[in-house]
Structure 1
Amino acid sequence: MTQNGRDRDSEGRARSARPRDGLGRPLPYGAVGVERQPEGVVRTPEETVREAQRLLDEGKPFHAHEVFEDAWKSGPKDERALWRGLAQLAVGLTHAARGNTAGGARLLLRGAGGIASYHSPYGVDVAGLTSWAGELAARVTAGGPVDASAEAPG
Structure 2
Amino acid sequence: MSVEEDMLLITKKFWDEGKFYEAHEVLEDIWRLFPKEDKFARNCYQGLIRLAIAYHHYTCGRRDSALRVLRKVKEQLGGCSGSFRYVNIAYMLSFVNSSIECLESGEEIKTLPNLMLNYQLDTESL
**Which bin holds the TM-score, normalised by the shorter protein?**
0.7 to 0.9
1:67 CA displacement: 0.9
Give a deviation string over 1:96-131, Cα, whole Å, max 9, x none: 111111110121221232222222123311111112
Q: Within 1, Cα distance between the matches of 2:31 and 2:85?
A: 14
The answer to whether the aligner puts 1:59 opposite 2:18 as a matched pair is yes
Q: Which of 68, 86, 108 pairs up with 2:70?
A: 108
1:106·1:137 contact (CA, 8 Å) conserved in 2?
no
2:95 and 2:112 in contact (8 A); partners too: no
- Which residue of 2 is the match for residue 39 of structure 1? none
SS of equivalent to 1:47 = helix
Residue aligned with 1:121, SS: coil
Cα displacement string for residues 18-50 of structure 1 (whole angstroms, at most 9, x for unaligned residues) = xxxxxxxxxxxxxxxxxxxxxxxxx72222322
Instruction: Describe how 1:1-150 pairs up with structure 2 within 5 A.
Output: 44-77=3-36, 78=38, 79-119=41-81, 120-146=83-109, 150=111
User: How big is each residue's C-alpha offset from its partner over 1:64-108, in whole Å with a ceiling of 9 and x where there is no partner?
Assistant: 111111222332332111111000001001111111111101212
* In structure 2, C-alpha distance between the alignment counterparts of 1:53 and 1:132, rounded to whole Å: 16
Identity of aligned residues (%): 26
Deviation at 1:63, TM superposition (A): 0.7
Taking only aligned residues, the RMSD between alpha carbons, in angstroms, comes to 2.0
* Partner in structure 1 of residue 113 of structure 2: 152
CA contact (8 A) 2:95 2:113 kept: no
Partners of 1:135 and 1:75 in 2: how far apart?
A: 30
Task: Call closer, same or farther: CA 1:141–1:101 in 2, change over 3 Å.
Answer: farther
Which structure has the larger Rg over C-alpha atoms? 1
The letter for the 1-side match of 2:6 is: E
Deviation at 1:62, TM superposition (A): 1.0
- Give the TM-score normalised by the residue count of structure 1: 0.62
Unaligned runs of 5+ in 1: 1-42
Which of the two has greater helix per residue? 2
Task: Please state how far the C-alpha of 1:146 moved relative to its aligned partner.
Answer: 4.6
Q: Check the 8 A contact 1:112/1:129 in 2, yes or no.
A: no
Gaps of 5+ in 2: 117-126
List 4+ stretches of structure 1 deviating above 4 A.
Answer: none
Distance verdict in 2 for CA 1:109–1:49, change over 3 Å: farther
